[in-house]
């Protein structure tokens, strides 16, 4: 109930155009903004208009009342079969009713869904980094579902049951799935902690060598509890630690018999500025990268790709720093429900700086923070776009009403693999066997494919 209410609430915000005069880029952004507006669906346009004019809620409430009356009348006349589904989430997300076209109130579910979509279309739309030629991944939602079916029983055998501060279920699945799909010749991870991600990589590729870069060797954790040390992994840890950016990659890859760096998968979970990591990876010739903590704007302890791409010229990007705005009010309300929802005050710094966190480019677990100008931030996004062939955010495995999580913001994440309301599927996959806490670590993990260098 609370979740559904919040889902609805989380949807009624509008994006404001940036204050162009303040960032000094004149009409350029408006030009881009208008370009994105051309692609807005009619529902978005109508909802935005209604939100602006203040008619949205009266119309939605009236529509809801009409739906209820229609449902009661049609039920009493026995015109349509009433579904056995119950609960508010099933009412609004009656995907379980795929066998029948009718939801809990006996109303065709697509009418209800349309209503929800109308509200959802006014959400703080999540933005994505744009890839150069609009390329996307090869796998489909069905492939993800099949993978999930397989991965549940693998995850049950994990050596580190409580991986607080490390990956939970969603990202473990994402990393396993991507790795298995790609079948790299070598896997590199930066940031291993107790070794859970090393274990995930090993499950995906049983015989492929791993290089693990992490200041503290995972074996050190063994004294205190469960940890994972891999037999086919070279550790750059302890006194052998060398930061990813300082590694002589030509020599190291050569030593491991790798001629082609594009056949390597690099996994970053080291909480470093992702722009810095991306540039280092591009320089070394790596092509397949996964960033574990792809923090949303206003959250996290390092500058992430998602933050870099949160730009007004990218659809769904950019923020309003007006304290007296719809966005500010909605953000404030959402804070009560979603832990990662951020207040305008937390997001915006002096001069209405919303990029990064209050205009800072965070690095190294928040230990090094550099204030950046809007122009630098904008140039960073241009650079990222210029090297991206694919940008794909791993979706949450299941909707928040199924996983009972409140940590990530559903309005700012891709649609889950198992959608809210599909409890039967959630149960069939075996996901009910896990503690809800394993679903708490979702931070928009992203798979990135670097494009061929253009000459």
Ligand X SMILES: C[S@@+](CC[C@H](N)C(=O)[O-])C[C@H]1O[C@@H](n2cnc3c(N)ncnc32)[C@H](O)[C@@H]1O
Site residues, ligand X (CB under 6 A): 163, 165-167, 190-194, 196-197, 213-216, 243-244, 269-272
Helices (H) and strands (E) in the chain, counts: 18, 9
Which residue lies nearer to ligand X by CB, 173 or 193?
A: 193
Q: Which residue, 45 or 216, is less far from ligand X as judged by CB?
A: 216
Question: Least CB distance from residue 215 to ligand X, whole Å?
Answer: 5
- φ/ψ (deg, to 5) at 349: -110, -165
DSSP 221-284: GGGTS-----TTEEEE-GGG---GGG--HHHHHHHTT---GGGEEEEE-S---HHHHHHHHHHH
Residue nearest to ligand X (CB): 166
For ligand X, the closer CB: 232 or 415: 232
Give the three-class secondary structure for 289: strand
CB nearer ligand X, residue 302 or residue 306: 302
Q: How many CA atoms lie less than 13 Å away from 300 in the CB half-sphere? A: 33
Task: Map residue 361 onto helix, strand or coil.
Answer: strand
Nearer to ligand X, 161 or 216 (CB): 216
Distance CA 284, CA 211 (A): 15
> Nearest approach, Cβ of 356 to ligand X (angstroms)?
19
Q: Find the shortest distance in angstroms from Cβ 229 to ligand X.
A: 13
Q: Residue 104 or residue 188: which is nearer to ligand X going by CB?
A: 188
To the nearest whole angstrom, how small is the minimum distance from the Cβ of residue 219 to ligand X? Answer: 13
Least Cβ distance, residue 168 to ligand X (angstroms)? 9
CB of 407 to ligand X, least distance (A): 15
Closest separation between CB of residue 165 and ligand X, Å? 5
User: How far, in Å, are 93, 197, 415 from residue 397 at the CA level?
Assistant: 16, 17, 9
Among the listed residues 317, 310, 345, 318, the one whose alpha carbon sits nearest the alpha carbon of residue 331 = 345
Q: Give every CB contact of residue 292 below 8 A, 6+ residues apart in sequence.
A: 167, 171, 175, 191, 197, 267, 268, 269, 443, 445
Instruction: Yes or no: say if 286 and 266 are a contact pair by the CB < 8 Å rule.
Output: yes
Nearer to ligand X (CB atom), residue 61 or residue 242 = 242
Nearer to ligand X, 3 or 273 (CB): 273
Q: What is the C-alpha R_g of the chain?
A: 23
Angle at 341 between CA 163 and CA 113, to 5 degrees: 100
Q: How far is the CB of 101 from ligand X (least distance, A)?
A: 43
């Amino acid at each position: 109930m609370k979740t559904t209410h919040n889902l609805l609430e989380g949807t009624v915000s509008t994006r404001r155009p940036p204050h162009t005069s303040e960032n000094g880029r004149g009409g350029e952004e408006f030009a881009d903004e208008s370009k994105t507006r051309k692609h807005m669906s009619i529902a978005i346009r109508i909802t935005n208009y209604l939100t602006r004019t203040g008619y949205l809620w009266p119309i939605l409430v009236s529509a809801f009342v009409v739906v209820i009356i229609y449902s009661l009348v049609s039920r009493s006349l026995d015109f349509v079969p009433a579904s056995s589904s119950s609960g508010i989430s099933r009412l609004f997300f009656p995907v379980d009713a795929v066998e029948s076209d009718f939801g809990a109130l006996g109303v065709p579910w697509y009418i209800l869904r349309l209503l929800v979509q109308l509200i959802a279309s006014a959400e703080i739309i999540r933005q994505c980094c744009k890839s150069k030629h609009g390329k996307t991944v090869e796998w489909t939602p069905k492939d993800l579902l099949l993978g999930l079916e397989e991965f549940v029983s693998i995850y049950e055998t994990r050596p580190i049951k409580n991986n607080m501060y490390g990956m939970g279920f969603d990202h473990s699945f994402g990393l396993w799935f991507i790795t298995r799909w790609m079948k790299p010749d070598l896997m590199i991870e930066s940031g291993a902690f107790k070794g859970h991600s090393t274990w995930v990589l090993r499950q995906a590729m049983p015989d492929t060598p791993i290089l693990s870069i992490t200041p503290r060797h995972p074996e050190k954790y063994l004294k205190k509890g469960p940890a994972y040390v891999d037999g086919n992994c070279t550790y750059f840890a302890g006194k052998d630690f060398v930061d990813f950016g300082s590694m002589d990659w030509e020599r190291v890859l050569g030593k491991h018999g790798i001629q082609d760096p594009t056949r390597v998968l690099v996994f970053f979970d080291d909480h470093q500025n992702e722009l810095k990591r991306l540039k280092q990876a591009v320089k070394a010739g790596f092509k397949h990268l996964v960033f574990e903590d792809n923090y949303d704007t206003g959250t996290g302890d390092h500058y992430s790709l998602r933050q870099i791409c949160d730009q007004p010229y990218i659809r769904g990007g950019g923020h309003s720093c007006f304290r007296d705005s719809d966005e500010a009010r909605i953000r404030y309300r959402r804070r009560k429900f979603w832990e990662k929802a951020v207040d305008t005050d937390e997001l915006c710094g002096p001069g209405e700086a919303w990029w990064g966190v209050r205009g800072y480019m965070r690095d190294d677990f928040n230990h090094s923070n550099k204030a950046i100008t809007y122009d630098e931030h904008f140039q960073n996004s241009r650079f990222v776009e210029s090297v991206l062939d694919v940008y794909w955010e791993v979706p949450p495995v299941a909707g928040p009403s199924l996983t009972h999580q409140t940590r990530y913001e559903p309005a700012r994440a891709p649609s889950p693999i198992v959608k809210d309301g599909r409890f039967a599927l959630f149960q069939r996959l075996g996901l009910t066997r896990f503690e809800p806490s394993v679903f708490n670590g979702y931070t928009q993990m992203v798979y990135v494919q670097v494009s061929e260098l253009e000459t």
